[in-house]
Amino acid sequence: MTTNARSVNSRNSIFERNPKITILFVITFSVLILDVVLTNIFSLYPAIKHDEPNILTSQPILGVKHEVYHHDLIKSGVIETKYTRFPDRKIKLHTNSLGFKDKSSRTIPLLPSKKFKKRVVFIGDSFTEGVMLEYEDTFVGIVDKELNNKSIEVLNAGVNSYSPIIYWRKIKYLIEDVGLQFDELIVFPDLLDIFDERYRYRLSERGYVIDQENPYLDQHQKETQYGPVFLGRIKQIIHSNTTFTYQVLDFLHDKIIIKQPKWPWEWWLGMKVSTANAWVFEKEINSDDEYAIHKMMKYMNKLLLLTRHNNIKLTVAVYPHPFQIWYEDLNSNYVKIWEEWSRSNHVKLINFFPDLINYGLTKKDKTVVVKKYYFVNDVHFNKEGNKLIAKKLLEEYFSERHFLKN
């Protein structure tokens, strides 16, 4: 090669020397810019109307904000949706005129119909709402179908992320502001309620349930969703500003980088040591958890007074998460505090722990129990788990109630 030829090549840019890489770079960069622009344009709509999901990045939901008790489900809603965990299965969800999950978008009279002898209301969080299931497959829906034949009306006021402060405030609102009348209330408090009471909710000066300004909660939510701080921040930026790019990177991460668990519930068993769950195993409950427990009981006491003032029978029910089955947490602190509260206030307690937890089971046997009653890699009951809860309610609780006698 002559000196002049070498001089010409040296003046060629890196792009001219690598045309294929250059074209790939230009296409990738253009797609990224278009992805960011379109995602942010469409994201303007939910930023204006908060009860509508982002049509590019969110699953369709029926949840809405509520001025008095923080959040609820929309009234008279119906939607057919898919959950990421079950991409091949569609779920049809209905809410009635009160915003309760129901078998249809029906109108609920405030006064019980004459064809019913009694009206029973359930309230709790996502377990009671029955997430990822149609109403008929939830334990409330199963109980509803059975008791309807005995002239007992059943309603489900449970919604994801509820806790005692909302149990009380929502029931108070339904009774005093809406005018709903019913005879019995069954509360399903969750062991994660302590986390919600400690970090998530507080009562405003107007007596409304609002968010706490809590840096720890914000960081906890980000780390739960995105991972450690630095990488989590990068993931958050990509997730918030792109759609196609995020989905591609997420797919590559799951298929190539992430270490697959030895069995589907491996991650959930690690929840024993999480901030939200560790308290159920503590021999001595720390002061911060004591405060949260005191706060829970404060609002349960308010709920008890409210129900008694309105001649409503109150019942409490407790149930285990999968990791408690694995660690044989039969006498959990969670059970103990509700046993003590129920006993001191003469409130009936339904304990589902003995129905799911047994001492001395092998790991294989425990795996069988968890797999049978819970969704894979999730804390919530599947159809069989809901059937178990409904069966005990019908056979051991409602069967002894005087209003079921013909």
Report whether pLDDT(215) > 90.
Answer: no
> Tens digit of pLDDT for each residue in 159-182?
999 999 999 999 999 999 999 999
Please say whether the beta carbons of 239 and 57 come within 8 A. Answer: yes
- Given CA atoms 397, 402, 403, 406 in this order, what sign does their dihedral have? positive
**Side-chain half-sphere of 322: how many Cα atoms within 13 Å?**
28
pLDDT band at residue 220, thresholds of 50, 70 and 90? very low
Q: Does domain 59-404 have CATH number 3.40.50.1110?
A: yes
Give the three-class secondary structure for 351: strand
Domain range list for the chain: 3-40, 59-404
pLDDT band at residue 51, thresholds of 50, 70 and 90? very low
The pLDDT of residue 257 is 52
pTM here is 0.76
Helical H runs in 184-228?
193-195, 215-226
For residues 322 and 37, what is the distance between their CA atoms, to the nearest angstrom? 42
pLDDT band at residue 297, thresholds of 50, 70 and 90? very high
- The DSSP result for 68-99, as a single string, is TTEEEEPTT-EEEEEETTEEEEEEEEEE-TTS
Report whether pLDDT(201) > 60.
Answer: yes
Q: What is the mean pLDDT of the chain?
A: 82
Q: What's the Cα-to-Cα distance from 149 to each of 154, 404, 405, rounded to whole Å?
A: 11, 10, 12
Q: Provide the percentage of residues in the chain whose pLDDT is more than 70.
A: 71
- C-beta atoms surrounding 387 within 10 Å: 16
